[in-house]
Amino acid sequence: MSAIALLSPSPAPETASVARLPDPLDRWDDAPAEEGLQLDAAPLRLARQIYATWLQRALQLGTYGNAGTMPALPRVAIDHQLDRALDVAGADAAALLALRDTQRQRLAELGAAAQTLAMAHGVDPAAAPVWDRLLELGLQTLQGFADLEIVFAAQRAAHDALTGLPGRAALQQRLQAEQSRVLRQGRQCAVALLDLDHFKRINDRHGHHTGDRVLAVFAATLRAGLRPYDGVYRYGGEEFVLVLPDATAAQAARILDRLRQRVAAVPVQIPDGALHIQFSAGVAALGDRAIAQTLRCADAALYDAKARGRDQVRLGPCVAA
Note whether 241 and 119 are same-domain residues: no
Kindly state whether residue 263 falls inside one of the protein's structural domains: yes
162 in a domain, yes or no? Answer: no
Say if residue 24 is in the same domain as residue 111: yes
Tens digit of each residue's pLDDT (9 = 90 or more) over 142-186: 999 988 888 887 776 677 878 888 888 888 888 998 999 999 999
238 is catalytic: yes
Residue 28 has pLDDT above 90, yes or no: no
In a domain, 321, yes or no: no
CB 96 within 8 A of CB 148: yes
Instruction: Please tell me whether residues 181 and 148 are part of one structural domain.
Output: no
Nearest residue to 247 via CA among 182, 196, 168: 182
Higher-confidence residue of 40 and 10: namely: 40
- Looking at the structure, tell me whether residues 24 and 113 fall in a common domain: yes
Last residue of a domain, one of 157, 188, 223: 157
Find all residues with CB under 8 Å of 13, minimum gap 6, and list them: 53
Q: Which of 35, 109, 238, 239 is catalytic?
A: 238
Asked whether residue 64 is assigned to any structural domain, the reply reads yes
Task: Give the pLDDT band (50/70/90) at residue 127.
Answer: confident
Number of domains in the chain: 2
Residues 80, 173, single domain; the answer is: no
Q: Is residue 163 part of a domain?
A: no
Terminal-residue alpha carbon distance, the chain = 55
Q: What is the DSSP letter of 92?
A: G
**Does residue 143 share a domain with residue 12?**
yes
pLDDT band, very low/low/confident/very high, at 42 (cuts 50, 70, 90): confident
In a shared domain, residues 180 and 152: no
Percent of the chain with pLDDT over 90: 52
Long-range CB contacts for residues 256-261, cutoff 8 Å, separation at least 24: 256/192, 256/194, 256/281, 256/283, 256/313, 257/312, 257/313, 258/225, 259/221, 259/222, 259/225, 259/226, 260/311, 260/312, 260/313
Residue 204, domain CATH: 3.30.70.270
Looking at 157, 181, 201, which one is the last position of a domain? 157
| Spatial separation of the C-alpha atoms in residues 203 and 211, rounded to whole Å | 5
Same domain, 126 and 260: no
Which of 28-32, 136-140, 311-315 has the lowest average pLDDT?
28-32
Q: What is the mean pLDDT of residues 279-291?
A: 95
Given a cut of 90, whether residue 10 has pLDDT beyond it is: no
Structural contact between residues 255 and 247, judged by C-beta atoms closer than 8 angstroms? yes
Tens of pLDDT, residue by residue over 181-193, are 999 999 999 999 9
Which residue range forms the structural domain that includes residue 14?
4-157
Q: Amino acid identity, residue 270?
A: I
Cα(287)–Cα(284) distance, integer angstroms: 9
Residue 131 lies in a domain: yes
Average pLDDT over residues 210-228: 92
Q: Is residue 234 part of a domain?
A: yes
| Same domain flag for 151 and 45 | yes
